[in-house]
Amino acid sequence: MIDHRGAVGEDPAQNSGYAPVSTITGAGYAFAAVDAGEIAPDDRDGYRSAMIDLFHPADQDLPDNAGRAISAWAWGASRAMDYLQTDPDIDPTAVAVIGHSRSGKAALWAGAQDTRFAAAISNNSGSTGTTPARRGGGGVGGETVARINASFPHWFPQTYKAFDDRVDSLPVDQHQLLALMAPRRVVVGSATDDANADPEGEFLSYLAAAPVYELYGLGDTGLPASTWPPATDEGFRGPAMSYHLRSGGHGLTAADWDVYLEGDLFSR
């Protein structure tokens, strides 16, 4: 888990909705978390201080096309994987990376870059996560490229700002990020009342990634239909794609974890 809240402690009995560790281990999984703030503080002025400045002179600007905090968090997940594959109690072929919201963006980027992750779970990741940039606000006031760059200028490369008001000129979009997980499992979790993340947009990206999975014979999304909205509070599972739409607002909850833990992440 990429934990941007710094909310996961070392107590194996903790059982919050956000990180129900005892429930996860009781289901037969191991649980590990990386504190995103120890990799790149979520701060526009201090995000470089923990790790990024170890790789680039602290007194020089980063190149405009260099990754920022989101990329650093994904890098941290891969460094955790470096350790996990040495642990004799862990099956390194069955490790998923999960993140919620901003960490859901990082989880997708980690899974896209590091094929050691057998699954990437993106919970309510929204703009520059699962939701298509070209969709704009989606008619529901969802977060846009311009808004996310203004609010969080330290998350993405500076070159991304060139597309603030011309998203139709982007050479790629978020469904292609999901598709980069193929043929490994990609998991999308949305919430009905999470307008900022635009759940319909997340749904559309999920569907649009399926043709790439189809190249591997894995294009079944598990959904009974491609119309919005699907049934709520129900997990849908295809051979390598999983989706659910939880009722309620932005959050990572026990109901989300129930779907993930019962979702048979590592088989087809």
Report the C-alpha gap between 187 and 207 in whole angstroms.
Answer: 12
Tell me the two tokens of residue 152: 């969080």
Report the C-alpha gap between 135 and 82 in whole angstroms.
Answer: 37
Q: Which residues are catalytic?
A: 101, 250
Tell me the two tokens of residue 6: 């710094």
Q: How far is CA 26 from CA 22, 29, 120, in A?
A: 6, 7, 21
CA-based nearest residue to 235, from 225, 227, 246, 226: 246
Cis peptide before 183 (omega within 30 of 0): yes
Percent helix, percent strand, percent coil in the chain, to nearest 5: 35, 10, 55
Residue type for position 48? R
Contacts of 26 (CB under 8 A, 6+ apart): none
